[in-house]
Amino acid sequence: MTRKNALYAQSGGVTAVINASACGMLQAALQHSGEIGKVYAGRNGIIGALTEDLIDISIESEAAIAALKYTPGAAMPAIRRLSDAPYRWDIIEAPLSAIANQEKLLPREFISADGFGITEPARRYLAPLIVGEAYPPFKNGLPDYVTLQNVAVPKKLTREFGV
């Protein structure tokens, strides 16, 4: 029996549902390896399928495929200050419920007594965030931005395959 390749591509929907659907389809394909050869997925869903930008899923482990069901669809990154001297930070995942529709005021000790300036503790806290700027190069008084070449990349598949 000739094995046929499988293609998975989805467009639109809730990420958690898409991930669970992909997991189920890919696990089913693995269970039918006698009938299904390689399994491909379109990068960025249906767009990848239409542009032949495909990922060979058949090389993924069963654990990686099973993990799709538990992969978060989105995360809210937050910057956490680790130290002031030297200034160090990292990025953590923050619960959206702790950020969305929340107001965080500057500490009162950051505002001068007259309410029109900042204090020395505020200056120390803010300094690493505002020191230095990376200006773009200028040409004839205007920013000289890079012009992208937009060169098409060659197709990744060497042969046609049927679905």
**What is d(CA 96, CA 118) in angstroms, rounded to the nearest whole number?**
30
Return the number of other C-beta atoms located less than 10 Å from residue 157's C-beta.
12
Break the chain into its structural domains and give their ranges: 4-70, 76-143
pTM above 0.75, yes or no: no
How many angstroms separate the most distant Cα atoms in the chain? 85
What is the pLDDT, as a whole number, of residue 12? 78
Return the number of other C-beta atoms located less than 10 Å from residue 134's C-beta.
4
In the chain, which residues have pLDDT < 70?
161-163
Cα–Cα–Cα angle for 116, 121, 126, rounded to 5 degrees: 80
Q: The tokens 């060169």 sit on which residue?
A: 151
**Using one digit for the tens of pLDDT, what is the confidence trace for 25-45?**
889 888 888 899 899 998 888
Cα–Cα–Cα angle for 27, 32, 35, rounded to 5 degrees: 140
What is the pLDDT, as a whole number, of residue 163? 61
